[in-house]
Amino acid sequence: MKVETMAVDILLATYNGGKFLSAQINSVLNQTYKDWHLLISDDRSNDATVEIVSEYIKRYPRQIKLFINETRLGSCQNFNRLLQISNSDHIMFCDQDDIWLPNKIELSLKEMVNTETKHPGTPILIHTDLKIINEKDIVIADSFWETIKLNPDKRTVNDVLGTCNTNGNTILINKKLKDIIGSIPDKALMHDWWSAIVAAQFGLIVPLKKQTVLYRQHPDNAVGAVSIINRLPQAHIYLGNIYKQILEFERIYNLHHSIPKIFFYKFLSLAKNYLFL
């Protein structure tokens, strides 16, 4: 199948995102690739988010759809709701406060087509690097991967179980992977991390070594490009939640991994970041 004939669902989970939301939606509208649908799930925002989306729907009713949760789900389950709604062969995750570079969809889809051609029938996750911007859209780092010392070539299941090695706001998955993911469980830390674990176990994670997103850093980020040093006071909680996520993954898919080995490498990673960031 040629890239230009592929429809893409873009899943955008919102919650009180009114400040930056228009910039994100505009960046989707300005994509070089046009065959997409933007599915938005709002998690009971109490700012202008729903009103902003409604205005875009008036202008683009065939391309933008809004769903409003009856109760607050939280970020991960808000994305999961959209994942259950989507029926597309190719799905992208989108955050409410970033800016997509104009060729993001086009580049990711080309990489997906190349990978699916080489590995037909395989569950696949494509992800990319990002540039980091501040609240005023000023670039403060040219590579997110370099900033946090992320090695995208570490993508085995043991690598990904211990560390989220992908960025949800850059991810493209195919339907083969979506079907295996099914419904993301409550014990998953984030939708992108869970998707990456499933892809590493049952398919392929493919890093596209280009920047396709301007990743905005501001005080309200759900997860940001912050130094691991800032997270050390909560490290025991963080590691405990990783442990619960691994156990849940093994339970659902009836698997067994060497958890002590995974945590050994995780502690090495934490130590490295603590010493060199």
Q: Is the pLDDT of residue 93 over 90?
A: yes
Considering only 99-108, 153-162, 254-263, which range has the smallest mean pLDDT?
254-263
Record the tokens describing residue 94, joined without a space. Answer: 């989108």
Dump the DSSP string for the chain: --GGG--EEEEEEESS-HHHHHHHHHHHHT-S---EEEEEEE---SSSHHHHHHHHHHH-TTTEEEEE-SS---HHHHHHHHHHH---SEEEEE-TT-EE-TTHHHHHHHHHHHHHHHSTT--EEEEEEEEEE-TTS-EEES-HHHHTT--TT--SHHHHHHS--S-GGG-EEEHHHHHHH-S--TT-S-HHHHHHHHHHHHSEEEEEEEEEEEEE--TT-SS-S--GGGGGGGHHHHHHHHHHHHHHHHHHHT----HHHHHHHHHHHHHHHHHH-
- Mean pLDDT value across the chain: 89
Confidence of residue 158 (pLDDT cuts 50, 70, 90): confident
Question: CATH second-level architecture of 3-276?
Answer: Alpha-Beta Complex (3.90)
* pLDDT of the residue at 270: 57
Distance (Å, whole) CA 93 – CA 13: 8
pLDDT, greater one: 116 or 255: 116
* pLDDT of 40 strictly over 70: yes
The pLDDT tens digits of the residues spanning 198-256 come to: 999 999 999 999 999 999 997 655 445 544 455 556 777 888 888 899 889 999 999 88
- Paired with 215 in beta bridges are 132
Instruction: Dump pLDDT digits (tens) for 46-65.
Output: 999 999 999 999 999 999 99
Question: What percent of the chain is predicted at pLDDT more than 90?
Answer: 73
Average pLDDT over residues 147-175: 91
Poorest-confidence range of 66-70, 75-79, 159-163, 247-251? 159-163
